[in-house]
């Protein structure tokens, strides 16, 4: 992807839209790999959105430090799912930079993924414009690296350390825009795919 990405907010703006994710997860405990995928919708929230101010207050942060955020919806399944099991959800998050360039800071969420309580992580952008997110839970820590291989192609690697030790690799392709109801509807002609992990840990539902 040509050109540079100025800051983390710009990175998340480039991520807005409807995506199809293909995922391979390696479970170190079981010494097995599991395939899956998901459909993900990312919608930008403006900095003056009252929901972002509420998230900042929830985490004891000044709402004036929020530069923007997103709403994420996801739907999917994994190869090891039981019959009838699916994975759907929605989360909001707010970005609070801690450096003047906006390339490092806090990512505040209204709910986590491994744990449904509100959670705060940290973000930083590398010199190659990849984005690294670190989120610590009571029993585990997730470290994820996101990068664009093109305007409509994203790559993600992640490692989860703790009670559940896994490593994952995702390839995500941008699809048609959401339907008129504002939901991540299935685009015409696109076959259904498996979906996201049993315990999705990414702030973007990835």
More confident residue, 196 or 27: 27
Q: Show the 3-state SS of 80-137.
A: CCCCCCCEEEEEEEEEEECCCCCCEEEEEECCCCCCCCCEEEEEEECCCCCEEEEEEC
Look up the CATH number of the domain holding residue 145. 2.40.128.20
**Residue 50 DSSP SS3:** helix
- What domain range includes position 164? 8-174
Q: Is residue 67 part of a domain?
A: yes
Kindly report the pTM of this predicted structure. Answer: 0.80
Q: What is the pLDDT of residue 205?
A: 52
**Confidence category of residue 2, pLDDT binned at 50, 70, 90:** low
The rounded mean pLDDT for the chain is 82
Q: Is residue 162 part of a domain?
A: yes
Q: Is residue 169 part of a domain?
A: yes
Number of domains in the chain: 1
Q: Is residue 112 part of a domain?
A: yes
Q: Is residue 98 part of a domain?
A: yes
The pLDDT of 28-53, averaged and rounded, is 89
Q: Is residue 197 part of a domain?
A: no
The pLDDT of 21-37, averaged and rounded, is 82
CA angle 126, 72, 180 (to 5 degrees): 130
Q: Is residue 185 part of a domain?
A: no
Q: What is the pLDDT of residues 88-141, one digit of tens each?
A: 788 999 999 999 999 999 999 986 454 456 789 999 999 999 999 999 988 889
Q: What is the pLDDT of residues 44-89, one digit of tens each?
A: 999 999 999 999 999 999 999 999 999 999 886 555 555 555 567 8
Q: Is residue 103 part of a domain?
A: yes
Q: What is the pLDDT of residue 79?
A: 52
What is the maximal distance between C-alpha atoms in the chain? 49
Q: How far apart, in whole angstroms, are the C-alpha atoms of residue 116 and residue 109?
A: 10
Q: What is the pLDDT of residue 34?
A: 82
């Amino acid at each position: 992807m040509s050109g540079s990405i100025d800051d983390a907010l710009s990175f998340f703006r480039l991520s807005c839209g409807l995506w199809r994710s293909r995922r391979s997860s390696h479970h170190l405990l079981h010494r097995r790999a599991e395939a899956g995928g998901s459909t993900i919708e990312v919608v930008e929230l403006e900095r003056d959105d009252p929901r972002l101010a509420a998230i900042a207050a929830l985490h004891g942060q000044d709402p004036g430090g929020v530069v923007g955020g997103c709403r994420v919806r996801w739907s999917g399944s994994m190869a090891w799912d039981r019959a009838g099991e699916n994975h759907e959800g929605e989360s909001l998050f707010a970005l609070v930079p801690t450096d003047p360039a906006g390339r490092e800071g806090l990512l505040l969420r209204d709910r986590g993924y491994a744990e449904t309580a509100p959670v705060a992580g940290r973000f930083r952008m590398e010199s190659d414009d990849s984005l690294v997110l670190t989120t610590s839970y009571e029993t585990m820590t997730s470290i994820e690296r996101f990068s664009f291989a093109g305007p409509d192609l994203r790559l993600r690697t992640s490692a989860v350390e703790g009670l559940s030790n896994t490593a994952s690799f995702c390839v995500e392709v941008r699809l048609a825009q959401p339907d008129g109801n504002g939901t991540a509807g299935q685009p015409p002609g696109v076959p259904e795919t498996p979906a996201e992990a049993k315990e999705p840990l990414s702030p973007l539902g990835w």
